[in-house]
A and B are shown apart, each in its own frame.
Chain A
Amino acid sequence: MSAPTLDRPAVDETALQAQFDATIAADHRVEPRDWMPEGYRKTLVRQIAQHAHSEIIGMQPEGDWLLAAPSLRRKAVLLAKVQDEAGHGLYLYSAAETLGADRADLTDRLIEGRQKYSSIFNYPTLTYADVGVIGWLVDGAAICNQVPLCRSSYGPYARAMIRVCKEESFHQRQGYELLMTMMRGTPEQRAMVQDAVDRWWWPSLMMFGPPDDDSPNSAQSMAWGIKRHSNDELRQRYVDMSVPQAQVLGVTLPDPDLRWDEESGHWRSGPIDWAEFKRVISGEGPCNAERIARRRAARDDNAWVTEAATAYAAKHAEGHAGAVA
């Protein structure tokens, strides 16, 4: 790409690197046509694709309740939410495409297990309370992770994140409101909420990734301004935010060691089971195979639809070009 040609002077990589570094240092945005180091581009593609995959796979656990939502209002809210997630996936794949990636290729990588998605979506949704808890805790954790990304150094990603965060915040509110309604309901409904909180709390803490002393890519991402806060910092923010919300809701978080630390002004949680995190991320979660199988089926079973649309577009583009000529 930077090879010198006869009619173009050799690109001075040192000068370009200096310009890039200055952009990052000044906290300005890098835009698609700007020069960027290959490592920066690769890291971004990996992170944005993983994020896009998470949105799309994340449609499934809640989507499983779309047909059975217990009121028409809840059905509409959930359908709008699952639809928003498809929209988020689209913005994010588009952001990745500004870096030279291709959506179909990224989807193939997901299906072939060469790219990951958030391991939280490998847990099943057992009752309708799970829909509310995903909104409250999983979307809540996602917001903590994503709000700082609104200031990410890569412009298209940062802008996509602003819109995504607005919608996620709305989803979180809706999830919490469902749980509040259920907690005011029958004893069975209250039990469902507590059970869902018991199952989702620890996986939601794992959404922030491994602890800082075991997070190999974090330092470089922070230096590049792709990431703004460490995994543990964000996790702490999430815990501090969630504990008071759990108290208002009237549920118990399943952590006997959770305590208020007067000195630091933070809620401190007990040790996280990182062995489980590794198991789930490496494909041994309860629903990994099922999630990918459905994504694969959507691609393969409907491949004829995409082929038809492509063939139709080609036929009619030729006709149009002919008419113009």
Chain B
Amino acid sequence: MHEETVYDALTNAHDDAGHWAFGTGFDEPLAGVDTTVPDGVDPADLGVYCLMLGDDALVLAQRLTQWMTNAPELEEEVALGNTGLDLLGQARLLLARAGSVGVLGRSRSLATASIPDEDALAYFRDADEFRNTGLVEAENGDFARTMVRLLVASTVRLAVFARLRESRDPVLAAIAAKGVHELAYHRDHAARWVLRLGDGTPESHRRAQDGVAAVWPLMADLFTATDVEARLVAAGVAVDPAAVRDEVREVLTTVLERATLTVPPWPDDVAPRGREGRHGEELTALLATLQGLARQHPAATW
């Protein structure tokens, strides 16, 4: 019975989606959401803010994807793939939003007209136009460092998204409302690994502690607002990164202590770096891989 249906569907491969055995319908995540820019908000600021949040997701998704086929367990391949897909989904919505309010930087002049804004932004911007933090662009290191970074990144992002649900921008509010469920899972998954590794064997404890030492300094510029953020916070659109610092600190301290790890001194705040387009060579290398094929065929659509 299955047999006949599947074969029939496959022979009709060239027809519309309906002939495929198991459908193709994907829900449009923002269907029905009002996309008007709220009164008193500069679309350029809104777009740049979407790039900040979108680039964080895109770059971290790329880092997690590096684990595919290399993970410690098959269950972890599935979990990391899932997390990468969630983040990629968030990135696509945010980059598309940036494009829709006209923030495309130099990308639009390089990319062919037929490719969507999300791809123009992902594939045809150079590193100095990326707005992600240094936290997500740093190399994975071993599995312990990867999980510590995921814990920190998802804790910060969840705290931001939880507040962003109240944003005056209905698109950001909708993206955040969907994202919090995903991020709560990411944080939980990472926290469980940090517990297992911290409180596992002497080797895993040492590696987890080394991971903490490598990741902690990357938090220094996470909690200082850029001018763009400050203006959008005043307009009720963005979340002030300083407002999530205490919550982040509390969550991370709780997890590390339960994992029998030493909590290093909290880094002093410094001025934003990645959010202002200042990055290290890790991002250049990451983008070379991410963008290489698309840039080799600038006139192609995929």
Q: Is A87 an interface residue (CB 8 A)?
A: yes
Interface code A218-261, partner B: CB below 8 Å = 1, 0 otherwise? 00000000000000000001000100110011000000000000
Q: Is B70 an interface residue (CB 8 A)?
A: yes
Q: Is A281 an interface residue (CB 8 A)?
A: no
Give the interface segment out of A16-24, A32-40, A204-212, A294-302: A294-302
Q: Which of B256-302 contact A (CB under 8 A)?
A: 289-290, 292-294, 297, 299-302
Are the C-beta atoms of A304 and B69 separated by less than 8 Å?
no
Q: Is A89 an interface residue (CB 8 A)?
A: yes
Question: Which B residues lie within 8 Å of A73 (CB)?
Answer: 92, 119, 302
Total residues of chain B contacting the partner, CB 8 A: 63
Are the C-beta atoms of A241 and B293 separated by less than 8 Å?
no
Question: Which B residues lie within 8 Å of A304 (CB)?
Answer: 201, 203-204, 207
A143 to B13, CA, bound (A): 14
Question: Which A residues lie within 8 Å of B69 (CB)?
Answer: 59-60, 63, 82, 294, 298
Given contacts A79-B68, A128-B302, contact A312 B199 (CB under 8 A): yes
Are the C-beta atoms of B290 and A298 separated by less than 8 Å?
no
Give the interface segment out of A5-13, A42-50, A110-118, A165-173: A165-173
Q: Which of B162-205 contact A (CB under 8 A)?
A: 195-197, 199-201, 203-204
Are the C-beta atoms of B14 and A248 separated by less than 8 Å?
yes
Question: Which B residues lie within 8 Å of A68 (CB)?
Answer: 289-290, 292-293
What's the dominant secondary structure at chain A's contact region? Answer: helix
Are the C-beta atoms of B73 and A72 separated by less than 8 Å?
no
Question: Which B residues lie within 8 Å of A60 (CB)?
Answer: 69
A302 to B199, CA, bound (A): 17
Interface code B63-75, partner A: CB below 8 Å = 1, 0 otherwise? 0011011111111
Q: A186's contact among B66, B82, B297, by CB below 8 Å, is which?
A: B297
Q: Is B110 an interface residue (CB 8 A)?
A: no
Q: B68's contact among A59, A143, A309, by CB below 8 Å, is which?
A: A59
Question: Which B residues lie within 8 Å of A70 (CB)?
Answer: 123, 293-294, 297, 300, 302
Residue of B nearest to A87 (CB): B78
Q: Is A216 an interface residue (CB 8 A)?
A: no
Give the interface segment out of B83-91, B100-108, B216-224: B83-91
What's the dominant secondary structure at chain B's contact region? Answer: helix
Are the C-beta atoms of B204 and A83 separated by less than 8 Å?
no
Q: How far is the CB of A87 from chain B (nearest CB, A)?
A: 6
Residue of A nearest to B81 (CB): A83
Given contacts A67-B65, A147-B3, A305-B72, contact A75 B88 (CB under 8 A): yes
Question: Which A residues lie within 8 Å of B75 (CB)?
Answer: 90
A68 to B290, CA, bound (A): 5
Q: Is B77 an interface residue (CB 8 A)?
A: yes
Question: Which A residues lie within 8 Å of B77 (CB)?
Answer: 59, 82-83, 86
A120 to B58, CA, bound (A): 32
Residue of B nearest to A55 (CB): B74
Residue of B nearest to A127 (CB): B293
New A-B contacts (20) at CB < 8 Å, excluding given A76-B92, A176-B13? A72-B58, A72-B88, A73-B302, A75-B65, A79-B84, A79-B88, A83-B68, A86-B78, A93-B74, A173-B24, A182-B302, A185-B301, A185-B302, A189-B300, A237-B7, A241-B11, A249-B14, A294-B69, A311-B201, A312-B197
* Sample of 21 A–B contacts (CB below 8 Å): A59-B69, A60-B69, A70-B297, A71-B116, A71-B119, A72-B122, A76-B88, A76-B89, A82-B81, A83-B81, A162-B2, A166-B21, A181-B301, A189-B297, A237-B7, A245-B13, A301-B70, A305-B143, A305-B204, A311-B201, A313-B196
The 8 A-B residue pairs whose C-beta atoms are closest, nearest first, are: A308-B200, A83-B81, A308-B204, A302-B72, A86-B77, A305-B72, A248-B14, A312-B196
